[in-house]
Amino acid sequence: MLHHNERELYQMRSPKILTFYRDEICVKLGVSLTSRSPEKPKLMMKYLAENGFTPYLDIQNFEPFTKEDFYLAHTKSYVDRFFLKGDDSNGLSWSKEFAETVRYTNSSLYHAIRASIDYPQSVTFSPTSGFHHAHPNSGGGFCTFSGQVIASLKIYRELGLSGAYLDLDGHFGNSIEDSRSFHTDVSKAIPVGCNFNPIGRDESYLKDLKRCLVQIGKLYREKKIHYLVFCHGADSHEWDDLGGGCNTETWFKCSELVYLFALQTGIPLSLSLFGGYRRDDYNSVLSLHAGDLSICLKILCGVNVGYTPIVKSRQ
């Protein structure tokens, strides 16, 4: 724990993470055998409650998106088609219930980011995923709409502020790059070069992440970006079904580096979950995310949850 004067020197945050969650954010039954993403927010919140995180999460209410919000980053024909009768371009089975949930997941992300700017003394959290592979005219890779693009466009138009995404999912987040030609404001909301996706395995991955953090720090100091969204996808872990290049130690080292960076710079910080697909032990996915949050709480919020992650070897 840091001493009082160190708390002032570094940009310590409030001891509670502002968490944008409502039960309507999730479907009740599985919609895809491959991805549990549509159920992930509920599974995550249940897991966090069972593991002692409740006192540190300040649950916030929020309104769902309307169709007009989705038009910001998508063609009207795709949005209307999706809500009317579905579209299998996201790789998920469609239902009216599932279509309703995406109004909430996308809105949760926007509200978390907006709150990180309005209340920079708090870390904010959207326990969601399913955004970063969508295209302006279709879904893709378990993602329906480009939640990041919509959120940042709204914030740019409301406040004139720009942001960066640190996407530590195992897969490149194409939705931001694919949206740049859809509207010129996208590159004002998320400047070119501000969609950070480190690459490599273990040591080289950490090296690339450090390079990204140096760049983000520079952009923040120069006021070219005003907030950071950290998406620590669990499918960058080596034992995930869609496995990436990080062993358990590396994966949590990434968390530590990002939260120390936020502590030192004071950059407004919001969190989102992104991928994680282990069918042999989904609790390992939730455990990685919970471990990440416990590191955030320890480094940035000065509280010790006493949580020990359990990431099981692949069966």
Task: Determine the Cα–Cα distance for residues 204 and 312; give it in Å rounded to an integer.
Answer: 24
Q: How many residues bind Zn ion (CB under 5 A)?
A: 5
User: Which lies closer to Zn ion via its Cβ, residue 163 or residue 173?
Assistant: 173
Element (H, E) at 148: helix 147-159
Closest contact distance (angstroms) between CB of 1 and Zn ion is: 34
Q: Which of 78/131 has CB closer to Zn ion?
A: 131
How many residues in total does the chain contain?
315
Asked if 235 interacts with Zn ion (CB under 5 A), we say yes
CB of 233 to Zn ion, least distance (A): 5
Q: Dig out the tokens for 155 from the structure.
A: 């914030």
Pattern 193-232, binding to Zn ion, x per CB under 5 A? ----------------------------------------
Q: Nearest to Zn ion by Cβ — which residue?
A: 275
167 binds Zn ion (CB under 5 A): no
Question: Which of 147, 198, 268, 275 contacts Zn ion by CB under 5 A?
Answer: 275
Contact 194, 225 (CB under 8 A): yes
CB of 254 to Zn ion, least distance (A): 15
CB of residue 161 to Zn ion, shortest distance in Å: 27
Q: Is 75 helix (H, G, I), strand (E, B) or coil?
A: coil
Mark the segment that binds Zn ion (CB under 5 A) among 87-95, 108-116, 170-178, 213-221: 170-178
Q: In what order do the strands lie in the sheet with 163-167?
A: 57-60, 17-20, 124-126, 269-272, 227-231, 163-167, 195-196
Angle at CA 207, nearest 5°, toward 2 and 161? Answer: 70
Q: Cβ 100 to Zn ion, closest distance in Å?
A: 24
Q: Of 171, 183, 188, 210, which lies in the binding site for Zn ion, with binding defined by CB under 5 A?
A: 171
For Zn ion, the closer of residues 122 and 146 by Cβ is 146
Region label for 106, one of left (φ > 0), alpha (ψ between -120 and 50) or beta (otherwise): alpha
Of 154-162, 192-200, 212-220, 275-283, which segment contacts Zn ion by CB under 5 A? 275-283
For residue 138, the 8-state DSSP code is: B
Closest by alpha carbon to 41, among 109, 115, 89, 95? 109
Cβ 43 vs Cβ 37: under 8 Å:
no
Is 38 or 275 the residue whose CB approaches Zn ion more closely? 275
Residues that bind Zn ion (CB under 5 A): 169-171, 235, 275
